[in-house]
Amino acid sequence: MTVQRAPLRLARVPRPPRKPRADWEGQEQAQLFGILKIKHPEVYRLAYHVPNGGHRHPAVAGKLRAQGVKAGVSDIVLPMARGGWFGLYIEFKATPPHDAAVSQEQTAFLLRVEQQGYYATVCRGVDDALRVIEQYMAQPRTEVVR
């Protein structure tokens, strides 16, 4: 008589947990906003981050695109008119060696908003962004003549 046995099931060996990728850009951008809050509160109150990037579930990404999210939109917007400009757009990148390349979409967006009268630039790291913001704010207010 032959005894049939159930196939032997081997226990799955758990994968070692993946080390989470460091979000250098996000950390540095948060640091920038922390400095602005203390050093330039008037800038801090109006400046904002556009949460366009990141990895999302395809269904969520589709809903966000339908709601107006667009590739290439700059990370930081400062809607304060200075030096003949209507406002400031910053494409923020982390400090080298943790920086990333500026995409074609990002470059195209910067050019489009500059053509509309905004100062638009790429900044690499907190020091660069703070320098640009302070130089921008040192310019005279842009006055609207009605």
Pairing label, strands 88-93, 76-78: antiparallel
Mean pLDDT of 11-32: 85
For 58, the domain range is: 29-137
Q: Is residue 11 part of a domain?
A: no
* pLDDT confidence band for 1 (50 / 70 / 90): low
Nearest to 29, CA basis, from 52, 58, 56, 5: 52
pLDDT at residue 132 in the model: 98
Q: Which helix (H) or strand (E) holds 111?
A: helix 104-115
Residue 142 lies in a domain: no
pLDDT at 3: 67
The answer to whether residue 58 is domain-embedded is yes
The answer to whether the CB of 82 falls within 8 A of the CB of 54 is: no
Asked if pLDDT for residue 142 goes beyond 80, the answer is: yes
The amino acid occupying position 4 is Q
- Whether the full predicted model's pTM is greater than 0.75, yes or no, is yes
We report the CATH number of the domain holding residue 79 as 3.40.1350.10
Q: Give the pLDDT confidence of 107-136 residue by residue, as tens digits.
A: 999 999 999 999 999 999 999 999 999 999
Give 71-95 pLDDT, tens digit per residue: 999 999 999 999 999 999 999 999 9
Report yes or no on 8 lying in a domain: no
